Amino acid sequence: MTTPAKIAAELARHRTITTAYSKAGLCLRCSGLAARGHMYGWADLSDPCARCAATVAALPHPTPAEAWRALRPTSGGGHNDAA
């Protein structure tokens, strides 16, 4: 069962990661996608948009998704990525 406290924590984490990617130069859509990748896995993620693709390609860490790279090391799914 998902508790309200857990939902709030996940939303806060999603917002924190989104902000980090936004500061790295990604648009809001792609920043949100990257946050989803960190939290829930990269495999089913849409590709970054054309404007962000070059920025994403310059990020330091590989992910399981070919089109995506990450600001921080990522396991590719689960809830234990460093955020």
Candidates 7, 12, 43, 49; binder of Zn ion (CB under 5 A) is 49
Identify which of 83, 52, 57 has the alpha carbon closest to the alpha carbon of residue 69: 57
- Shortest spacing between CB 51 and Zn ion, in angstroms: 5
Task: For Zn ion, give the closer residue by CB, 51 or 79.
Answer: 51
* Options 33, 34, 35, 52; binder of Zn ion; rule CB under 5 A: 52
Tell me how far CA of residue 24 lies from CA of 6, 9, 28, 54, in angstroms: 27, 23, 11, 12
Q: Single out the residue of 17, 18, 21, 30 in contact with Zn ion (rule: CB under 5 A).
A: 30
**What is the spatial distance between Cα 35 and Cα 79, in angstroms, rounded to a whole number?**
11
Q: Which residues of this chain interact with Zn ion, rule CB under 5 A?
A: 27, 30, 49, 52
